Amino acid sequence: MNLLAPVRLLSAGPGVFVAVLILAFPGVGMAEYSDAMKECMLQKMEVEGDDMTLGQLKDKCLSEQREDDSAKTDMDAEGVVKERLGVDDSNILRPFTLMAHRPNYLLVAAYNSSGYNPEPFREEFDDPSIELDDTETQFQLSVKFPLAVDLFDKKIDIFAAYTNRSFWQVYNNDRSSPFRDTNHEPEAWVQFRPDWKVAGFSNSANQLGIVHQSNGRGGDLSRSWNRIFANFLFERGNLALGIKPWYRIPEDSDDDDNPDITDFLGYGEIRTAYRWNKHTFGMMFRNVVESGFEKGTVELSWSFPLGSYPYFRGYVQFFNGYGQSLIDYNQHVNSIGIGLSLTDYL
């Protein structure tokens, strides 16, 4: 307030001037008002008539505050997907910044009760003595970056991403702790945000793209495939839902390392994530119906805060099914791991 404000308020009426003094100096008797309430009431005193009492001004400010809080609650209820997209928007053009794509995590110990299959390695290295540990370390690094944004009147963006998932036999001292498999997954997609409403859900974003996945190896250990995919993202409050169908791009039979991979990984997947009180619960399932409930896959995850430590979170992941790694895409895996999470879907 400038130096002439008291003169203007006094000319408006002595009641308003006294009220301003009371609010501006809480020692006079209004210390119970919050700073936000004082600011609101002072603003209203400058525009309301002299006949407004302090109680009426307070009620008016409280009413507006309740409306603001309600609007914020409605925004929160609209969705965690929009919140995540908002984080992307705030970082999208920052130099030297790579944004998280899929979850980034480290499973310090992941135990597979089904046991990992050593046969491909025995055949490739002609060594029948090769054995694999049932417990290993797994980690995933996944980043994305924009190729073009705000196209066609700010309705379309183009992204690229790279995801690395590694399976490390770190406890297998007999074999010098080798990497059992490392899967590389570069992809690119076009994204738009329609904000359609479907059955109580908001369709926050849709994507159409192409992805290559391989383990970068040769001989009998080589695995790879290429797909065109769509991804439809929905939200309702703290619940996020992703429906992702895909089509495998055909390969020449002489070059196809894994011609039956869709028998085990199917033609798409569904992911859900739910955030509750700083905890994030995730679920993925695929190939359940297509395989006649014989080769389906379910993945469950839970990331949780580690007290007040801000840099990473605890992480638990359960996997049952096929395709956890490309080297074992046709082998059943039943594993549970525990470790740390840097970023999650939400």
Give the active site residues: 212, 214
Burial group, residue 95, by CB count within 10 angstroms (0-12, 13-18, 19+): exposed
Both structure tokens of 323: 């395709």
- Alpha-carbon distance 325 to 217, whole Å? 13
Q: For residue 206, what are the contacts with CB-CB under 8 A and spacing of at least 6?
A: 191, 192, 193, 194, 230, 231, 232, 233
Both structure tokens of 209: 């793209």
Is residue 137 within 8 Å of residue 120, measured between CB atoms? no
DSSP character for 144? E
- Alpha-carbon distance 191 to 157, whole Å? 5
Both structure tokens of 309: 């430590």
